[in-house]
Amino acid sequence: MKVALALGLIVCTALAQQVTQILPNDEVSLRSPKAISVGVGRIVYIADSGHHRVIAVDSTGKLVAESGHGGSSGSQMLWPVDVSASAGANVYVADAGNKRILKFSRFLEWQGEFEILSSDGQALEPRLVAASQQGDVFVYESDEGQLLRYDPLFTLQNRLGAASGRDFMQAPISLTQSDALGVLWLDRGGDQVHASDRFLSSQRSFPSSVSGARGIAALDSVFWLLNDQRLVSANKGSEVASRDLNEIEVLKDASDIVCSPVDARTLYVLDRRGARLFRILFAE
């Protein structure tokens, strides 16, 4: 992983070729959405926290699937705060209200769940989740401040934080993963990016190139950082594209935003404060 090069990257400008507002529309509206993730078939999954559900929409905003909502049985959930769609066609949800991780198919069919337990058997609250192509599930829980790796059978394999690696787990606000880059997360201030391999070892940190970043997202060897004014992408650790979001008319009043990539040119952006979803297509 070449994150150490982030301090001396070549800066260029990436012009937005097309910006489209996907949601809300006549069929789908959001209430206090918290996270998005793009999965197989370019389906966009949204943790629609205020409606206590996760929904899946296509590139036009048409509703593809919807989870159960407003409960604690099976696919039901309360205050989902994060969602991650893996290349293996599974979708994982941090169901904060019920203190568990839910697993779904790509069409949001419930496939199982697991809790994160303390040493005395108490359920801990998951806040962030990211899944890999191999089926690893990475979860940050806020009660004891740990990042954990579970295998596809929901067995705990590695942990970082609490008594070990405390310096790297300063209340992270965004978590992402790719096979090329490993596991990456932002600390609460958004001024430091932390990274590790899939075993949560070989930790490293470097300054964020976006002051007060709110979100980080990765795909293959590219990762994106953004705050409410600026979006930066790093490609293979040797080049950065920077974009002033205030120059994009429909995003001028967006606030508290996060993103999820489709490919190196296409990015979905969620305006959490305004409950809006956008697709940005950048020029090559």
- Measured distance CA(72)–CA(244) in Å, rounded: 42
| Pick from 31, 34, 46, 269: nearest CA to 174 | 34
In the chain, where the domains are located: 3-282
If pLDDT is split at 50, 70 and 90, which confidence band does 7 have? very low
Over its C-alpha atoms, the chain yields an Rg (Å, rounded) of 18
Q: Is the pLDDT of residue 207 over 90?
A: no
> What pLDDT is stored for residue 237 in this prediction?
53
C-beta neighbour count of 101 within 10 angstroms = 24
Q: What is the pLDDT of residue 260?
A: 94
pLDDT for residue 208? 80
In the structure encoding, which two tokens stand for residue 241, read together? 């594209």
Here the tokens at position 263 are 């490919």
- Return the ∠ at Cα 163 (arms to 157 and 167), rounded to 5°: 100
Comparing 216 with 229, which gets the higher pLDDT? 216
Q: Which amino acid is at 206?
A: F
Give the residue from 80, 124, 71, 123 showing the smallest Cα distance to 103.
80
**Residues 232-276 pLDDT 10s:** 887 755 556 777 877 777 777 777 889 999 988 899 999 999 999
The CATH superfamily holding the domain 3-282 is: TolB, C-terminal domain (2.120.10.30)
CA angle 244, 248, 251 (to 5 degrees): 100
Inter-residue contact 271 to 254 (CB < 8 Å):
yes
Quickly state the pLDDT bin for 167 (edges 50, 70, 90). Answer: low
Q: Name the pairing type of β-strands 123-124 and 116-117.
A: antiparallel
Instruction: Encode pLDDT of 38-73 as tens digits.
Output: 999 999 999 999 999 999 999 999 999 999 989 999
Determine how β-strand 182-186 pairs with β-strand 204-207.
Answer: unpaired
* CA gap 59, 67 in Å, rounded: 19
Q: What is the tens place of the pLDDT at every residue in 69-118?
A: 899 999 999 999 999 998 778 999 999 999 999 999 999 999 999 999 99
SS3 129: strand
pLDDT of 91:
97
State yes or no: pLDDT of 220 exceeds 80. yes
Tokens linked to 228: 């409410």
Q: Residue 171 — very low, low, confident or very high, per pLDDT cuts 50/70/90? A: confident
Confidence of residue 279 (pLDDT cuts 50, 70, 90): very high
Among residues 137, 246, 130, 132, the alpha carbon closest in space to that of 186 is found at 130
Look up the pTM and report it: 0.91
Asked whether residue 122 carries a pLDDT value surpassing 60, the answer given is yes
Give the pLDDT of residue 4.
34
Tokens of 64: 């593809």
